[in-house]
Structure 1
Amino acid sequence: MSRLKGVADRDSRTGFRAERRDCGASVPQGLLKAARKSGQLNLSGRNLSEVPQCVWRINVDIPEEANQNLSFSAAERWWEQTDLTKLIISNNKLQSLTDDLRLLPALTVLDIHDNQLTSLPSAIRELENLQKLNVSHNKLKILPEEITNLRNLKGLYLQHNELTCLPEGFEQLFSLEDLDLSNNRLTIVPASFSSLSSLVRLNLSSNQLKSLPAEISGMKRLKHLDCNSNLLETIPPELASMESLELLYLRRNKLRFLPEFPSCKLLKELHVGENQIEMLGAEHLKHLNSILVLDLRDNKLKSVPDEITLLQSLERLDLSNNDISSLPYSLGKLHLKFLALEGNPLRTIRREIINKGTQEVLKYLQSKIKDDEPSQNNSVTETAMTLPSESRVNVHSIVTLKILDYSDKQAVLIPDEVFDAVKSNIVTSVNFSKNQLCEIPKRIIELKEMVSDVNLSFNKLSFVSLELCTLQKLTFLDLRNNFLNSLPEEMESLIRLQTINLSFNRFKILPEVLYRIPTLETILIGNNQVGSVDPQKMKTMENLITLDLQNNDLLQIPPELGNCVNLRTLLLDGNPFRVPRAAILMKGTAAILAYLRDRIPT
Structure 2
Amino acid sequence: MSRLKGAAGRDTRAGFRTEPRDCTTSVPQGLLKAARKSGQLNLSGRNLSEVPQCVWRINVDIPEEANQNLSFGATERWWEQTDLTKLIISNNKLQSITDDLRLLPALTVLDIHDNQLTSLPSAIRELENLQKLNVSHNKLKILPEEITNLRNLKGLYLQHNELTCIPEGFEQLSSLEDLDLSSNRLTTVPVSFSALSSLVRLNLSSNQLKSLPAEISRMKKLKHLDCNSNLLETIPSELAGMESLELLYLRRNKLHSLPQFPSCRLLKELHVGENQIEMLGAEHLKHLNSILVLELRDNKLKSVPDEITLLQSLERLDLSNNDISSLPYSLGNLHLKFLALEGNPLRTIRREIINKGTQEVLKYLRSKIRDDRPTQSDSVTETAMTLPSESRVNVHAITTLKTLDYSDKQKTSIPDEVFDAVKSHIVTSVNFSKNELCEIPKRIVELKEMVSDVNLSFNKLSFVSLELCMLQKLTFLDLRNNFLNSLPEEMESLIRLQMINLSFNRFKILPEVLYRIPTLETVLISNNQVGSVDPQKMKMMENLTTLDLQNNDLLQIPPELGNCVNLRTLLLDGNPFRVPRAAILMKGTAAILEYLRDRIPT
TM-score under structure 2 normalisation? 0.73
Inter-CA distance 169–588: structure 2 relative to 1 (3 Å threshold): closer
Inter-CA distance 585–109: structure 2 relative to 1 (3 Å threshold): closer
* Deviation sequence 1:319-341 (CA, Å, 0-9, x none): 00000000111111111111000
* Deviation sequence 1:416-457 (CA, Å, 0-9, x none): 999999999999999999999999999999999999999886
Q: CA deviation at 1:22?
A: 2.8
Inter-CA distance 518–337: structure 2 relative to 1 (3 Å threshold): closer
C-alpha contact (below 8 Å) 1:22/1:54 kept by paired residues: no
Inter-CA distance 291–9: structure 2 relative to 1 (3 Å threshold): same
Q: CA deviation at 1:15?
A: 1.9
Q: CA deviation at 1:77?
A: 0.9
Query: Which one is further off, 443-452 or 8-17?
Result: 443-452
Distance 2:448 2:92 in 1: 40
Q: CA deviation at 1:352?
A: 0.5
* Runs (5+) with no aligned partner, structure 1: none
Q: CA deviation at 1:373?
A: 3.0
* Runs (5+) with no aligned partner, structure 2: none
Inter-CA distance 124–222: structure 2 relative to 1 (3 Å threshold): same
Q: CA deviation at 1:299?
A: 0.1
* Deviation sequence 1:263-296 (CA, Å, 0-9, x none): 0000000000000000000000000000000000
* Deviation sequence 1:565-599 (CA, Å, 0-9, x none): 99999999999999999999999999999999999
Inter-CA distance 27–507: structure 2 relative to 1 (3 Å threshold): same
Inter-CA distance 251–515: structure 2 relative to 1 (3 Å threshold): farther
Inter-CA distance 549–17: structure 2 relative to 1 (3 Å threshold): closer
Q: CA deviation at 1:543?
A: 18
- Describe the SS at the equivalent of 2:400: helix
Equivalent in the alignment of 1:446: 446
C-alpha contact (below 8 Å) 2:386/2:393 kept by paired residues: no
Inter-CA distance 131–98: structure 2 relative to 1 (3 Å threshold): same
Query: Which one is further off, 243-252 or 13-22?
Result: 13-22
* Deviation sequence 1:37-57 (CA, Å, 0-9, x none): 000000000000000000000
Equivalent in the alignment of 1:17: 17
Inter-CA distance 485–306: structure 2 relative to 1 (3 Å threshold): same
Inter-CA distance 122–231: structure 2 relative to 1 (3 Å threshold): same
C-alpha contact (below 8 Å) 1:50/1:96 kept by paired residues: yes
Query: Which one is further off, 401-410 or 390-399?
Result: 390-399
Query: Which one is further off, 427-436 or 558-567?
Result: 558-567
Inter-CA distance 289–592: structure 2 relative to 1 (3 Å threshold): closer
- Describe the SS at the equivalent of 2:484: coil
Distance 2:198 2:438 in 1: 52
Q: CA deviation at 1:481?
A: 3.5
TM-score under structure 1 normalisation? 0.73
Inter-CA distance 397–236: structure 2 relative to 1 (3 Å threshold): farther
C-alpha contact (below 8 Å) 1:546/1:569 kept by paired residues: yes
Inter-CA distance 11–293: structure 2 relative to 1 (3 Å threshold): same
Inter-CA distance 428–298: structure 2 relative to 1 (3 Å threshold): farther
* Deviation sequence 1:486-531 (CA, Å, 0-9, x none): 7999999999999984434236899999999999999976777999
Inter-CA distance 413–61: structure 2 relative to 1 (3 Å threshold): farther
Equivalent in the alignment of 2:588: 588
Equivalent in the alignment of 2:158: 158
Equivalent in the alignment of 2:405: 405
C-alpha contact (below 8 Å) 2:383/2:394 kept by paired residues: no
C-alpha contact (below 8 Å) 1:335/1:401 kept by paired residues: no
- Describe the SS at the equivalent of 2:375: helix
Query: Which one is further off, 396-405 or 136-145?
Result: 396-405
Query: Which one is further off, 379-388 or 155-164?
Result: 379-388
Query: Which one is further off, 380-389 or 250-259?
Result: 380-389
Q: CA deviation at 1:82?
A: 0.2
Q: Percent of pairs identical after alignment? A: 92
C-alpha contact (below 8 Å) 1:524/1:549 kept by paired residues: yes
* Deviation sequence 1:346-392 (CA, Å, 0-9, x none): 00111011101111111110000011333387699999999999999
- Describe the SS at the equivalent of 1:361: helix
Inter-CA distance 409–294: structure 2 relative to 1 (3 Å threshold): farther
Aligned length: 602
* Deviation sequence 1:384-407 (CA, Å, 0-9, x none): 999999999999999999999999
Inter-CA distance 433–600: structure 2 relative to 1 (3 Å threshold): same
Equivalent in the alignment of 1:179: 179
* Deviation sequence 1:545-582 (CA, Å, 0-9, x none): 99999999999999999999999999999999999999
Q: CA deviation at 1:485?
A: 3.9
Distance 2:512 2:44 in 1: 26
Equivalent in the alignment of 2:286: 286
